[in-house]
Amino acid sequence: MTETTTASHKYYYPYDPSKVAAVIFVVLFLLASLFHIFQVIRKRTWYFVALIIGALMECIGYLARFQNARQNPDYTLGPFIVQTLLILVAPSLVAATVYMILGRIILTTDGERYSFIKKRWLTKIFVVSDVVSFFILAIGRFDAIRAFTLSIRRIWLTPPQEARC
Amino acid sequence: MANTSTGGSMLTGDHPKIKLGQNLILVGLFSQITAFGIFILVAILFHKRLHAHPTSTSMTMERLWKKHMYALYFVSFLILIRSIIRVVEYLQGTGGYIMSHEAFLYIFDATLMLIAVVTFNVVHPSEIIPGKGVSSNEMS
C-alpha cells in the first residue's frame, strides 16, 4: 500500500511543494486584487476587470497549491487541476489588459495615425490571439491532466509487482 | 519489473496522450510570445512617432503618456520573461530541471506576475484614461 502512495506522490510533484511560499503569494495577490478593486470603484475604470480577474485567479491558484502542499503525500486531483490551470492562464489576462491600455493611450493622445496597426484592429487582434492562446493552453492542460489521470488510475489499479520481486 | 518500466515512461512524458497536451501548451505559449513580440514593436513604433510628431493632445500630457508607455514596456517585459521560462520548462519535459525545481515557479512566475499586477496599482491607467462618468478635466 505504501508503494502506491509514494508512486502517486511522484506523479504530482517531483518535490515537496512549499506551504509557506504558497500562502505568501495567496496573501500578496489577494491584497493586490483588493487594492485594484478599490481603485476601479474609485476611478470607475471598468476595463480593468480583466486584470482583477487575473490577479484573483493567481490568488486562488496558489490557494489550491497550498491545499495540495498540506495533503503531501496524499495529493488529491482537484486542487492540482485548479492550481495548474489558473497559474498557467492568469497571465493571459494581464497581457490582454496591457494590449487594451496601449489602445486607449493611442486614443487619448490622438495618435491613431502613428499606430502601425489601426486602433480598431489593435485591441481586437491582440486580445483575440490572447484568448486563443488562453484556450489552447487550457485545452492543452486539460488534455495533459486527463492523460495524467488515466496514467495515475492505471498505476493504482495495477497490483504492486515489487513485492514479488 | 514490467510495471515499473511503464510507470517510468509515463513519468518522462513519453506517453502519447501527455505529449499532445504538452504540445498544445507549447503552441499556446509560443503564440503568446509571438503576439507579445509584435505588440512591443507596435508600441515602440507608436512611441517614437508620437514623440517625433506630437499631436496637440499629446503635448499637453507628454510626461504622462510617456510614463504609462514605460509602465507598459516594463510589464510586457515581465510577461515575456515568464512566458519564455514556461516554454523552456515544457520543452525540457517532465523530468527537466525547471519543472523539478519549485523555485523557478516562484521566482519567474509568481514574483514577476505579482510585480506586473502591482505596477498597475502604482501607475494606474486612470491617470491617462478617464473612467466612465469622469470628465476629462478631472484627470490629473
Please check whether residue A53 is in contact with residue A32, taking contact to mean a CB–CB distance below 8 angstroms: no
* Closest of B105, B93, B86, B24 to residue A133, by C-alpha: B24
Q: What mean pLDDT value characterizes chain B?
A: 80
B111: DSSP letter: I
Give the pLDDT score at B4: 39
Mutation site, A62, A108, A115, interface B, largest B CB count within 10 A: A108
* Contact list, B26 vs chain A (CB under 8 Å): 140
CB atoms closer than 10 angstroms to residue B27: 16
Give the pLDDT score at A164: 44
Is the CB of A94 less than 8 angstroms away from the CB of B116?
A: yes
pLDDT of B136 > 50? The answer is no
> Which residues, including other chains, have CB under 8 Å from residue A41's CB and lie 6 or more apart?
none
- Better-predicted residue by pLDDT, B131 or A74: A74
Q: Which of B1, B7, B134 sits opposite A165 (nearest CB)?
A: B1
Is the CB of B41 less than 8 angstroms away from the CB of A116?
A: yes
Q: Average pLDDT for residues B119-127, to the nearest whole number? A: 91
Q: Exposed, middle or buried, A136 (CB in 10 Å: 0-12/13-18/19+)?
A: buried
**Whose grid coordinates read 508620437?**
B50
Please check whether residue B58 is in contact with residue A111, taking contact to mean a CB–CB distance below 8 angstroms: yes
Distance CA B12, CA B77 (A): 31
Check if B44 contacts A (Cβ < 8 Å).
no
CB atoms closer than 10 angstroms to residue A88: 21
Give the pLDDT score at B131: 62
Model confidence at B78, pLDDT cuts 50, 70, 90, reads very high
Please check whether residue B98 is in contact with residue B15, taking contact to mean a CB–CB distance below 8 angstroms: no
> What distances in angstroms separate CA A164 from CA A3, A41, A118, A155, B105, one per listed residue?
13, 66, 70, 16, 40
pLDDT of B115 > 90? The answer is yes
Please check whether residue B112 is in contact with residue B82, taking contact to mean a CB–CB distance below 8 angstroms: yes
pLDDT digits over A47-73, tens only? 888 899 999 999 999 999 999 999 988
Q: What percentage of chain B carries pLDDT values higher than 90?
A: 39
Identify which of A108-112, B115-119, B126-130 has the greatest average pLDDT.
B115-119
Distance CA A122, CA A119 (A): 5
- Better-predicted residue by pLDDT, A12 or B2: A12
C-alpha cell at A1: 500500500
Give the pLDDT score at B11: 44
pLDDT of B122 > 80? The answer is yes
* Contact list, B46 vs chain A (CB under 8 Å): 102, 106, 111, 114-116
* Contact list, A126 vs chain B (CB under 8 Å): 35, 39
Check if B81 contacts A (Cβ < 8 Å).
no
pLDDT of B6 > 60? The answer is no
Distance CA B70, CA B12 (A): 42
Q: Which positions of chain A have pLDDT values less than 50?
A: 1-7, 162-165
Give the pLDDT score at A75: 87
Peptide bond into A73 cis (omega under 30): yes
- Better-predicted residue by pLDDT, B17 or A140: A140
Give the pLDDT score at B85: 92
* Closest of B85, B120, B80 to residue B106, by C-alpha: B85
